[in-house]
Chains A and B, each alone.
Chain A
Amino acid sequence: MSTTISDSPGQTMHAAHGWRDMPDARGHFGPYGGRFVAETLMAPLDELSKAYEAARNDPSFMAALDTDLADYVGRPTPIYHAERLSARVGGAQIWFKREDLNHTGAHKINNTIGQALLASRMGKTRIIAETGAGQHGVATATVAARLGLECVVFMGSEDMRRQSTNVYRMRLLGAEVRPVESGSRTLKDAMNDALRDWVAHVDDTFYIIGTVAGPHPYPAMVRDFQAVIGRESRRQMLERCDRLPDALVACVGGGSNAIGLFYPFLDDEQVAIYGVEAGGDGVQTGRHAAPLAAGRSGVLHGNRTYLMQDENGQISATHSVSAGLDYPGVGPEHSWLKDLGRATYVDVTDAEALDAFHECTRIEGIMPALESAHAVAYAKKLAATMSPDQIILVNMSGRGDKDMGSVAEAAGETL
C-alpha cells in the first residue's frame, strides 16, 4: 500500500472506500445520523439540503466564504509548538491548532459564517441558535450583526448563570437571549426550544445549529464548514514539520471542533485520532457527559447516535465543568468512527481538565477554554507514552476568558 503523503488528503489511499465518503444521500453515517423530526420540519430540511448543495457547488458562494474566513475571522489560524509543555511531559511534541485566535475566540465562527451566508442566500431574515457555553451564541450573534439579521439565541437558564459574560456579549451584539427553563436547563433543552421555534417560524427563519448533530443535513454541513481546521492543519504540518502528526486530539461535546480537525485526516491511516469526552466526576460515578464511553444508540434531536439514557429511553442528566461539553448526545459521525475504530474516544475528569487549564496557562501563557482543556489534559497523558520525535496536534478550540467564573468557583475563589 502506498503511503505517499500529498496535500490532498486521501488521494493515494482508500480512494475506493474512503473514510470521508459519508454520509449517504439521506444523511446516514452507517447506522447513525438520518432525519428524525416531526412532519412539519421535513419540507424545510429538504429545502435546506437543496440550498446547501447548490451553495457548496457555487464558486461565488465558496469565494465569499473564503474571503470572510480570511478578513473577518482571521484565518488561517497558526499551529504552535508548545515546547515547554512538551518538555515538561517528557514525551511526544505537543502542538496546538490555534482556533482560540479566531474572531470571537473559538472555532464556532467557522460554521456560523457559513450558515449565515447560506441563510442570506436563501432570503431568510431571522436567525436562531442554541448555545451551551455561549460561544456558538456569540459567534451567531456576531455574524447576525454583521449581516443585519434578527437573532434569537436559546440558552438554558443554568448555562446563563455559568456564562453570564457571554450572555452580555450576545446582548451587546443585538441578539435576544431567550432563557430556557425546561428540563435540565442546559444545552439539550436549548436545542429543543430552538427546534420548537423553528417549527413555528419556518418561513422566515434559519436555524444555525452549532454542532455536528441535529437532523440531516446539519451534521454534514457543519462538518464541512469546520473542516477548514483540518485542511489548514494538514498543510501547516507538512510545511512546518515536513510530515503529518502521529496523533490528533480534540474535545468532543457535540463534536464540531473535533470532526473539523479529524475529517481531512481520516484517510491518513497512520494518524491516530483521539476524541476526548467530558468525564465530569468520573464516568464510573454516572455524573459525566460521555455518551461514547457510557451511552448507547438512540434518537434525539433529529438523529440516531450514542446517547446518555436510562433503561426506559429517557435522556439522562449530564454533568461537566464545561458548559460546552454538557450534552447527552454526540454527532453521529463520531458514533460511526467509534464503531469502526477509526477514532478512539476517551474521557478526562473535571479535575484533570482544570489542572490542564492551569498548567497550560502558567507555562505556555495560553488560557484554554475549559472544553479545550479536556483535550490538553488527554494530550499530556498520551504524550507521556510516546517518544520525543513524535507529534501530537491538539485542537485549541477556544480561549478560556469566558470561564473565569467557573475556574474561580472550582478554586473556591470569588472574582
Chain B
Amino acid sequence: MSRLAERFKALREAGRTALIPYLTAGDPHPDATVDYMHTLVAAGADVVELGVPFTDPMADGPVIQAACERALVHGTSLRNVLDMVERFRQDNVDTPVVLMGYLNPIDAMGLDAFSARAAEAGVDGVLIVDMTAEETPEIVPTLKQYALDPVCLIAPTTGESRMARICENAGGFIYYVSFKGVTGSASLDTSTLAEHVGHIRAASALPVAVGFGIRTPENAADVSRVADAVVVGSALVAQIAEYGEDRTAAQAALRATLGGMRSAIDTQDQNRQEARRA
C-alpha cells in the first residue's frame, strides 16, 4: 500500500480530515524548504504538497507566482526539489509528499528519469497541472510503474464523461479545484461544494481533497465537513513572503496559521463524530 493510501486509511479509521499544506520549494531559499516541511508536519500536516517552481505558472495566482520567482532567483530546479525530498525523508519516513508542478520541467528532465529519481527520493504523488490523460497517455502508466500516485485535478467545469476518465487514472487522492480561478484568488463558496464532491465520490473510491481559496480556520472547517482533505497554499506562502529571510518568524507564522486550521478541522471532526454517536 502506498504511503498516501496508508495515511488516508489511518485518517478514515480515526474519523479525521487530512490537512495538506503547500509550499513552493526553494522559497525563499533552497536551504529553507526542508526545515519548513518539518515545521508543517509538527503543526499538523498529514501530507505535504511541494510546488516545483516554474517560470510560467499559468494556473497560479500572484502569491504563488511570486514564490516561484523567488525560488528561481536561486536557480531551484526540479532536481534540487527532488534532493530536498530526499533530505526530508532522512528525518521523516511516514508523511506522504506530493509534488505539484507544470509539465515542462518534467519534460526537460525526461519522464522516466524524473519518475525513477522521484521514487528514489521518497516522493509519493505527482500532480502535473497542465497534464491531461488525453494529451500525455504515457505519463500515468509511467508514474504508476514507479509506484508514484498520479494525483489528478477535477474542476467545477469537468463534465461527467471526463470525470470518469480522470478517476480511472488517478491515484492517491482526487484534487477538487473548488472554484473557477487561479490559486489564492476568490474566496470559497461552500454552498455547492457538497454537491460537487458527491459527484466525485460517485465516480471514485479515492479520497477527495479540496483546494483553492481556503484562507481561514473557518474555511478549513467548512471544507472538512464534505471533503477528506483540505489543501491550503497561498495563505501559507503569503507568510513566507512576508517574513522573507527571517526564517524563525516565518516558521512561527506557518505554525500559527496551519495550527489554527488544524484545530478548527479537529473540532469539526469531533463534532461530527459526536453527532454520529448521538
Contact = CB atoms under 8 A, between A and B. Distances in A.
Interface stretch (A141-149, A229-237, A293-301): A293-301
Interface stretch (B7-15, B17-25, B100-108, B232-240): B100-108
Contacts of A203: 180
Interface residues of A, number: 37
A26 interface: yes
A200 B69 contact: no
Nearest to B75: A312
Given A182-B62, A199-B59, A300-B56, A36 B103 contact: yes
A313 B166 CA distance: 26
B162 A42 contact: yes
A351 interface: no
A298 B106 CA distance: 10
Given A42-B162, A199-B59, A314 B105 contact: yes
A200 B162 contact: no
Interface in B142-168: 152-159, 162, 166
A196 interface: yes
A313 B157 contact: no
Interface residues of B, number: 47
A313 to B, nearest CB: 3
Interface string A230-256: 000000000000000000000000000
B104 A199 contact: no
A393 B182 CA distance: 44
- Best-surrounded residue of B56, B72, B107, B152 (most CB of chain A within 10 A): B56
B217 to A, nearest CB: 25
Interface stretch (B32-40, B127-135, B187-195): B127-135
Contact of B69 (A182, A192, A315): A182
Contact of A188 (B56, B135, B180): B56
B56 A38 contact: no
Interface string A201-215: 111000000000000
Contact of B54 (A35, A43, A297, A314): A314
B181 A200 contact: yes
Given A200-B181, A298-B104, A38 B186 contact: no
Contacts of A34: 135
B58 A313 contact: no
B56 A315 contact: yes
B77 A312 contact: yes
A307 to B, nearest CB: 8
B65 interface: yes
Given A38-B59, A302-B130, A314-B54, A200 B104 contact: no
A196 B61 CA distance: 8
B59 to A, nearest CB: 4
B79 interface: yes
B104 A313 contact: yes
B135 A40 contact: no
B130 A38 contact: yes
B53 to A, nearest CB: 8
Contacts of A309: 104, 108
Contacts of A36: 103, 130-132, 135-136
B55 A200 contact: no
A18 interface: no
B250 interface: no
Contacts of B134: 26, 35
A315 B153 contact: no
A183 B69 contact: yes
A312 B59 CA distance: 20
Interface in A21-40: 26, 34-40
A309 B109 CA distance: 12
A388 interface: no
- Best-surrounded residue of B60, B105, B109, B158 (most CB of chain A within 10 A): B105
B65 A40 contact: no
A389 interface: no
A71 interface: no
A192 to B, nearest CB: 5
Interface in B63-84: 65-66, 69, 72, 77-79
Given A35-B135, A36-B103, A196-B59, 4 more contacts: A40-B156, A195-B58, A299-B103, A315-B55
Interface of B: 54-62, 65-66, 69, 72, 77-79, 102-109, 129-132, 134-136, 152-159, 162, 166, 177, 180-182, 185-186
